Structures are given as C-alpha cells and as structure tokens.
C-alpha cells in the first residue's frame, strides 16, 4: 500500500491556472476510475472536491476539474483565488479493496 | 444536514488501548459504508479502515491490521474503532468519513463525501 505520488508544492498567482498530478500504479489509479481529490485548509477536516476522476459534488466550483491518463490523475484549478490556498490530496480505490492517499500538495496563491 | 461527530480520543501509553466513536445524523446511516482516516501531526491523510453498510465486509490498512477493529451499530447510528497495542506512530487525528451508498449487497462510490471534525489520539509514555 504505497502512497500515491504528488508534488510537495505548487504555486500560482490569482487568476492563473495550476495542475496537480497524482501518480499511482496499475493496481490503483490505472485500474479503476475511482480517483478522488480533497481540499484541506489548516486545522480543518478535508473536503471532497472531485470524485470518480472527473465529477464535482454539488457546491464545488467549476473552476476545479479532474482528469486521468494511465496511472496518473490530475487536478486542475483555473482562475486561482486566495481561498484556494490549501493542501490537496488525491486518493484511489485499489485492487485490494483498500484506499490509498497521495502525500499531499501544498498550494500557495502568490 | 449530514453530521459526523467523533469522540473518545485522548492520551494513552504505548501498548495501551482506546476506542473512538463517531455519531452520525442527517442521513440513513444503515445505507452507507463508513471509514476511518487518520492524519499524524504535520503529515498527510492515511486511510485506516472501512466497513460496509451491514458490516459484511471490512478492510484495514496493513499498518493497523491485527491491532485495530472497526465496527458499527446501525441502531445507534454509530461507528467505532477499537485500537489495541497502540504505538507512537498511531498518534494522529482520527476522522470518521462517509463512504458509498449501499444497496442490494453492493456499495457504490469509493470516495468520502462527508467528514467529521476529528478526534485526537496521542500515544506517549
């Protein structure tokens, strides 16, 4: 159950777009379309932003979008806003019927 | 409104035991799989365990297998995590998270759409 690989940090200016990658294996990201993304502000519980690779829960801005190619999933955020500054985690269901998270990416809005 | 409220965290010595609980409201608890996810201080999220709606299927992370036991009481709308043989590396905030909707023996959705505020567990002598 090795963690999915995410960049430790990304940054962008307000209004810009960024992308966060999430690399797994053929036993998790590459096998199922069950990749999710979570946003976590300091001291708060995580919040679901994307599920099943591309789906947004109701109430989540359409500035957030997800995609996947092979063993790598991506989260894109367009029109960066100050409140987007947070930690982001990807997760995937695995062939062992477990869930694995990425190590997390700190997004800084410059 | 979905609410998940964890309780039972605290300070425990290495080798000790602790049971944390999660009280659910605002949805049909018996129709959803439930999960525990933890976060060590300054670290990322780690999935710990899941249980299907009727408790038929249970899964654990390798790091806790044989030491932790997940359970639920659908009559009380409650989820539990019994933690035994605790180690310093189990120190974390433990979150209860709602999983997929279950029907006809199958669960749909492998994401966590609602989370509690967490309960802190510290393992230290």
| B67 in Cβ contact with B84 (< 8 Å) | yes
Q: Could you say which residues from 45 to 104 on chain B have a Cβ atom under 8 Å away from some Cβ of chain A?
A: 45-47, 50, 57, 59-63, 95
> A103 CB near a chain B CB, below 8 Å?
yes
pLDDT at B104 over 90: no
Facing residue for A103 by CB, picked from B44, B95, B113: B44
Interchain contact, B112 vs A36, CB within 8 Å: yes
pLDDT given at position A28: 95
Q: Return the CA Rg of chain A.
A: 13
| Percent composition of chain A: helix, strand, coil (DSSP 3-state, to 5) | 5, 50, 50
Confidence of residue A1 (pLDDT cuts 50, 70, 90): confident
pLDDT digits 0-9 by tens, B54-97: 999 999 999 999 999 999 999 999 999 999 999 999 999 999 99
> A62 CB near a chain B CB, below 8 Å?
no
Strand-pair partners of A35:
A92
- A-B Cβ pairs (cutoff 8 Å, strict): 63
Interchain contact, B44 vs A98, CB within 8 Å: no
pLDDT digits 0-9 by tens, A67-82: 999 999 999 999 999 9
Contacts of B44 in chain A (CB under 8 A): 3, 87, 89, 101-104
* CA–CA dist A51, B88 (Å, integer): 33
Interchain contact, A38 vs B57, CB within 8 Å: no
């Amino acid at each position: 159950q090795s963690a999915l690989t995410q960049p430790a940090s990304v940054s962008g200016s307000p209004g810009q777009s960024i992308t966060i990658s999430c690399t797994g294996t053929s036993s998790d990201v590459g096998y199922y379309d069950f990749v999710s993304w979570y946003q976590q502000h300091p001291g708060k519980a995580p919040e679901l932003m994307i599920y099943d690779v591309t789906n947004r829960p109701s109430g989540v801005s359409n500035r957030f979008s997800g995609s996947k190619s092979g063993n790598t999933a991506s989260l894109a955020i367009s029109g960066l806003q100050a409140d987007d500054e947070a930690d982001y985690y990807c997760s995937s269901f695995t062939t062992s019927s477990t869930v694995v998270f990425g190590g997390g990416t700190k997004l800084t809005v410059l | 409104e979905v609410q998940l409220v964890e309780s039972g965290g605290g300070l425990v010595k290495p080798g000790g035991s602790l049971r944390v609980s999660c009280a659910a409201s605002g949805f049909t608890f018996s129709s959803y799989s439930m999960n525990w996810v933890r976060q060590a201080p300054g670290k990322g999220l780690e999935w710990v365990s899941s249980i299907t709606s009727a408790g038929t299927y249970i899964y654990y992370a390798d790091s806790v297998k044989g030491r932790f036991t997940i359970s639920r009481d659908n009559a009380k709308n409650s989820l539990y995590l019994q933690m035994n043989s605790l180690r310093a590396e189990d120190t974390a905030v433990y979150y209860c998270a709602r999983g997929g909707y279950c029907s006809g023996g199958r669960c749909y959705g492998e994401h966590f759409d609602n989370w509690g505020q967490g309960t802190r567990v510290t393992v230290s002598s």
